[in-house]
Amino acid sequence: MSSRLDELFVKVQAENRAALIAYIPAGFPSKAGCTKVIQALAAAGVDAIEIGFPYSDPVMDGPTIQEAAEISLKGGTEACDVFAALKVASDTGVAAVVMTYWNPIEKYGVDKFAEAIAAHGGSGVITPDLTVEESSSWLTASSTQSISPIFVVAPSSSDERLAHVTSKAGGFVYAASVMGVTGARSSISVDAQDLVSRVRAVTSLPVCVGLGVSTRAQAQSVAAYADGVIVGSAFIKLLLNSNDEESGLEAVSLLAKELALGVREGR
């Protein structure tokens, strides 16, 4: 059974472009504000939305996403709010996934978590800190619920490792464009393109590049070789730096429209 995520990659391939994937933590800038941000992103032309599960020990997240997660956690965001945000995203018609560390899945209950993702319209889950070796319970649960287990690979991964990880993955492969934590950067690492071609050599799954894209020109350059361009910190920064909710939403919408043009100009 193909998910909305699978259908999205078929669609963008037919249009000869990359998908634009936006990341927003659940409960940020507030629970009600998160709903508005999701709707603004979808209306501005993003193809898929990643809902972040805010976590108190975010090893892979840079300062911007950490700050957003802290705001969200202070606002009392829990698993139910993550699933509610996922449903808001899915209801807009875009493909929707959750990005979470392993601890919240384990705490919630592996089977129960996969079930909730499917019940709220989610197509998959990105698990940045879950190794393939430790993922058997998650692979079983996600397979039962027909949701995609999305793994993160880095430039440091050997070819053998890439083949092993991607053989268990579904939906798409999340290629981290640089070593280290998330955050908008002035230039995207040259490692990203090399990593994408190495991943392509071992799997037919779409490859999406995350960590660092913040401008239309960067989106265009990544879209030239990747199947999807993932943007998170750039949107969050706009919301953190805005004077009020309305101007924050406006800024997010404007950037999303620019990035949507960027992913269409890459090829």
Query: Domains in the chain, please, with CATH?
Result: 4-264 (3.20.20.70)
The pair phi, psi for residue 208, each rounded to 5°, is: -115, 140
One of 6, 50, 81, 227 is an active-site residue; which one?
A: 50
- Per-residue model confidence (pLDDT) at position 56: 85
Longest alpha-carbon distance in the chain: 49
| 61 is a catalytic site residue | yes
The more confident residue out of 57 and 72 is 72
One of 6, 61, 81, 227 is an active-site residue; which one?
A: 61
- Per-residue model confidence (pLDDT) at position 63: 87
- Per-residue model confidence (pLDDT) at position 183: 59
The region that residue 178 occupies, defined by phi over 0 for left and psi between -120 and 50 for alpha, beta otherwise, is beta
**136 has a pLDDT exceeding 90:** yes
Split at pLDDT 50, 70, 90, the class of 2 is confident
| 129 is a catalytic site residue | no
- Per-residue model confidence (pLDDT) at position 76: 97
| Cα–Cα distance for residue pair 121/63, rounded to 1 Å | 30
Q: What is the pTM of this model?
A: 0.95
Split at pLDDT 50, 70, 90, the class of 72 is very high
Residue type, 251: A
- Tens of pLDDT, residue by residue over 147-204, are 999 999 999 899 999 999 999 999 999 998 765 555 556 566 667 899 999 999 999 9
